[in-house]
A and B are shown apart, each in its own frame.
Chain A
């Protein structure tokens, strides 16, 4: 069964222009969104490497 994930992080990132600082509310929203996205992806069997290379998430190297 194909795994479908909506709104991968990579496609939402801005590619040009100066980064606009987030408000605190936006920060919290993004923290929770990313946390949930990663959790759900791992549960679906998506690897950390795929999350990095395909969806643009970063992890500390261990």
Chain B
């Protein structure tokens, strides 16, 4: 089944972030931060691993309902970041406001569209153990990334916890 993608037009605010505004006037920032410091055991991979985050600029007003175009836009931005087949992205679902599980479900669903462009992206999810419980983490890497298997191994090593 073909699913049409209708991403919002996003701005590349060089040098560090993307931004877009929804039909309802909500502005979002998207950005990637280097995660190499957490993968020092993998010197070949470390410079190529980044975290991703999306953030509403103004959190006083909350969007209501579901806006599928936000998902389409995030898929576009992350897809663009991964299309070089060099980098990998780790998404940590922030649990601090009690919405970690909801974040995980939403983010995971964004990359599960059957015939969407995101089908080019492999998605692996696991848990990170913390003192206050487990939290969700997701690895995204392009299917044709030559280091794909190593990224997956490194990700599972991270989520394995202290031995």
Specify whether A and B are partners.
yes
Interface of A with B (CB < 8 Å)?
21-25, 27-29, 31-32, 34-36, 38-39, 42-43, 48-49, 52, 57-62
Give B86 Cβ to nearest chain A Cβ, in Å.
11
Residues of B within 8 A of A22 (CB): 37-38
| B14:A62 contact, CB within 8 angstroms | yes
| A35:B130 contact, CB within 8 angstroms | no
Say which residue of B15, B81, B162 sits within 8 Å of A25 (CB atoms): B162
Most buried by B among A21, A58, A59, A62: A62
Question: Quick one: which of B90-108 are within 8 Å of A by CB?
Answer: 92, 94-96
Query: Main secondary structure on chain A at its contact with chain B?
Result: helix
Most buried by B among A23, A28, A34, A52: A28
Residues of B within 8 A of A52 (CB): 16
CB within 8 Å for A35 and B131 given contacts A43-B59, A52-B16, A58-B33? no
Residues of A within 8 A of B8 (CB): none
CB within 8 Å for A57 and B33 given contacts A24-B162, A29-B130, A48-B17? yes
Most buried by A among B37, B40, B81: B37
| B12:A28 contact, CB within 8 angstroms | no
Residues of A within 8 A of B95 (CB): 32
Q: How many residues of B contact A (CB 8 A)?
A: 38
Quick one: closest B residue to A43, CB to CB?
B59
Quick one: closest B residue to A33, CB to CB?
B96
11 additional A-B pairs beyond A31-B92, A39-B53, A62-B15, beta carbons within 8 Å, are A25-B130, A25-B161, A29-B130, A32-B95, A32-B135, A35-B53, A38-B31, A43-B58, A60-B31, A60-B33, A62-B16
Give B162 Cβ to nearest chain A Cβ, in Å.
5
| A27:B32 contact, CB within 8 angstroms | no
Say which residue of A25, A28, A38, A58 sits within 8 Å of B53 (CB atoms): A38
User: Can you list 10 A-B contacts with CB-CB less than 8 angstroms, sorted by A residue number?
Assistant: A21-B40, A28-B128, A28-B135, A32-B92, A35-B51, A35-B94, A39-B53, A43-B57, A48-B31, A62-B32
In the bound complex, CA of A61 to CA of B158 (Å): 25
